Amino acid sequence: MPVITQATLVDVSELNVLVNSAYRGESSKKGWTTEANLIDGIRIDEETLTTYMNDENIIILKHTDEDGYITGTVYLEIRYPKLYVGMFSVSPLLQNKGVGRALIEEAEVYARKHNCHTLTMTVISTRFELISWYERRGYKPTGEIQPFHAHGRFGDAKQHIELIVMEKSI
């Protein structure tokens, strides 16, 4: 039975593969959340994931299948009074099967437990299908625009990229 739990240091390698496969490279093109046409390079590395795991304000939730393989993940950072949601990833072969919905619902449970009444995230402004997916789940653009991190930490943009901020009150 699929389950959502907190990821740990032993999951870093598998999380690294999953997140990169969901966002970048040829494997990401099997799903609808690919950024391969917008950004080159990797989305995350094991060093950064390890840093996240050692930060008391951050947890990473993982969705595992019946065999214990990680099929989805989401990064949650308490930025009180808000909860930042990021690195939301589902295996490209399992997208549109409820994994993402389950993870985003669990993020809301986590927010309530930590007295955060607003979930906030950034989304590439030209990812209209993704923005629509979040809007169907109650997220709304705030009007705030942020630049894409041009220093290469999250890949190298092939074009000018801006991020919109979306939020949901719970």
Q: Can you give the pLDDT at residue 140?
A: 98
Residue 99: CATH number of its domain? 3.40.630.30
Residue 135 lies in a domain: no
Residue 143 lies in a domain: no
Q: Give per-10-residue mean pLDDT for the chain (170 aa).
A: 94 95 72 69 90 96 96 96 95 87 96 97 92 96 88 74 96
- The answer to whether residues 8 and 124 touch, using CB atoms and an 8 Å cutoff, is no
CA dist., res. 79 & res. 116, Å (int):
8
**Over the stretch 116-139, which tens digit does the pLDDT of each residue have?**
999 999 999 998 989 999 999 999
Q: Can you give the pLDDT at residue 22?
A: 83
Residue 159 lies in a domain: no
Q: Can you give the pLDDT at residue 31?
A: 65
Q: Can you give the pLDDT at residue 45?
A: 92
Residue 164 lies in a domain: no
Q: Can you give the pLDDT at residue 49?
A: 96
Residues whose CB is less than 8 angstroms from the CB of residue 112 and which lie 6 or more positions away in sequence, other chains included: 170
Amino acid identity at 123: V
Residue 8 lies in a domain: yes
Q: How many other C-beta atoms lie within 10 A of the C-beta of residue 70?
A: 20
Residue 25 lies in a domain: yes
Q: Can you give the pLDDT at residue 89?
A: 92
How many folded domains does the chain comprise? 1
DSSP structural state of residue 98: S
Q: Can you give the pLDDT at residue 73?
A: 97
Q: Can you give the pLDDT at residue 28?
A: 61
Q: Can you give the pLDDT at residue 150?
A: 58
DSSP labels, 3-38 = EEEE--GGGHHHHHHHHHHHHSHHHHTTSS---TTT
Q: Is 1 helix (H, G, I), strand (E, B) or coil?
A: coil
Residue 127 lies in a domain: no
Q: Can you give the pLDDT at residue 25?
A: 64
**Over the stretch 136-155, which tens digit does the pLDDT of each residue have?**
999 999 999 998 875 666 77
Amino acid identity at 167: E
CA dist., res. 145 & res. 1, Å (int):
40
Residue 24 lies in a domain: yes
Q: Can you give the pLDDT at residue 160?
A: 85
